Amino acid sequence: MDVKIEQSWKKVLAEEFAKPYFEQIVLHLKTERAAGKVIYPPGRLIFNAFEHTTFDKLKVVILGQDPYHGPSQAHGLSFSVPDGIAIPPSLVNIFKELKNDIGMAIPKHGNLTAWASQGVLLLNAVLSVRANEPASHAKIGWMNFTDAVIQKISTEKKGIVFLLWGKFAQEKAHLIDITKHHILKAAHPSPFSADKGFFGCKHFSKTNTLLVEQGLDPINWIL
């Protein structure tokens, strides 16, 4: 199947695009659209995380669960929203931790594209959702695909820093070779759990320490 995705990822993931489950994902999306369902993000942005963070430049993975399901929120980057969209609560808490950790002023926008362009893969485990129906595409096959993405990163890269926030993300740890990579775990930044271990985790400064120790440029988290 000819999937429109950034070329370095297209090469790495070619065998996934040829598998029956991926064809079923495409068919499911086409069927829902034909039935008049609104799906987020728009088709051209489903693989946006891969467009901004090429396989060659990848340094960090921040794993989310599901795209935002409100109008104009989702643009293919986990936790991120486009310019001009209200900052969601979990991202507000991420910014609070950044202020506490590195002294970053709280941004007036929630667009994390600047992180992605520096090698931070903002990967949701599920890459699409029906409007106003959270987790509505959780069982259509996307997690087969994103699990394969994580495994490919684990196998073919080294020294990647994985930020796993919350139980769902941490359940992906078994896909990662900890003899080659770094895993930082904390509670999810949601208002329901941020005070249970996300606040104070200092994952952003810790990530940069791990990158610098490998001779890599740190991430400029300031937006």
- Strands (E) located in 27-140: 39-40, 60-64, 120-124, 129-130
Catalytic residue among 56, 66, 83, 177: 66
User: Which residues make beta-bridge pairs with 64?
Assistant: 124
Helical axes 20-34 vs 142-156, angle rounded to 10°: 140
Calculated CA dihedral for residues 170, 172, 123, 11, nearest 10 degrees = 160
d(CA 119, CA 57): 5
Question: Is residue 66 annotated as a catalytic residue, yes or no?
Answer: yes
Nearest to 198 by CA among 183, 185, 181, 209: 185
Q: Any idea which residues carry the catalytic annotation?
A: 66
